[in-house]
Amino acid sequence: MTTETEQGADRNKAILSGHLVRIVKLYRPMIRCVLDEHGGMEQMHLMRQFLDSVSILNYLLDDPDDTSRFDNYVFDSLVSEVQTLVSIENQVKADGNRSLDPVELRMISSIHASFAAAGVKREDIPSRGNIKWPNAERRMDLISPRAYVMYRLASSSIHGSWHELERNHLQYKDGKFFPSYDSGDIYAQTSLHHGTVRRCP
C-alpha cells in the first residue's frame, strides 16, 4: 500500500506537515542544550520558533476547511519577498537602469521559485495591511493564556532588548555595568509550555 508520504501532499497539507517536521527538529537542539549545559539564551531562540509553529498549526487546524487561512498564511510569508523585489527594482532604477548583478538575479529567481511552489504569482499577493493573518498574540491565545508571555520573552532574546541584555549579557555592580560571558541559566521549558496541537484532518 502506498502511504501519503510516498504520494506527496498538496500545498495546504504540506504546510501542516512541514510545521510538524519543524517542531520535531526544534526539539533536537533543545535537548542538546540541556545535555551540553548550554545557557537559556539559545533555548529562548528555539522557544520562539517552536511557539510560532505550534500557534500556526493550531490556527490552521481550528478550521481546516477554511482554505483562506492557508492562503493568508502564504501571503503573509511571501509579502516580504515582494518587498525585496521592489527594493531591487528601485535600486536598479536609482543606478540608471543598470543590468542586474549575479546576486540580484539569484535572489529574483529564488523568490519566483517560492511563488511558483506556493501556487501564487506576485500580483496575487496583497499588501501587508490587506492580509488577513492573525498576529502572534491572537495565535498564542489558541495555545494557552500563558503562551504569549513566553513568546514575548523569547522575542526579547531574539531582538536583543534591554531586558535580555541586562539579564544575560551584563552584570550590574556598584552602579556600573560589566560584560557577562556566562551562558546563563538552563530553562528546558519548551515541553512545559507547548500546549496542544489539534489533530490533523
pLDDT at 181: 83
Residue 193 predicted with pLDDT over 60: no
173, β-bridge pairs: 176
| Predicted confidence band of residue 5 (pLDDT cuts 50, 70, 90) | low
| Predicted confidence band of residue 185 (pLDDT cuts 50, 70, 90) | low
Which pTM was predicted? 0.80
- What are the tens digits of pLDDT across the range 70-122? 999 999 999 999 999 999 999 999 999 999 999 999 999 999 999 999 999 99
Looking at every residue in the chain, the average pLDDT score rounds to 86
pLDDT at 4: 54
Residue 155 predicted with pLDDT over 90: no
pLDDT at 37: 63
- Whether the Cβ atoms of residue 49 and residue 155 lie closer than 8 Å to each other: no
Mean pLDDT of 4-24: 88
| Helix extents (H) in the chain | 4-7, 11-35, 40-62, 67-94, 102-118, 136-141, 147-159, 162-168, 190-193
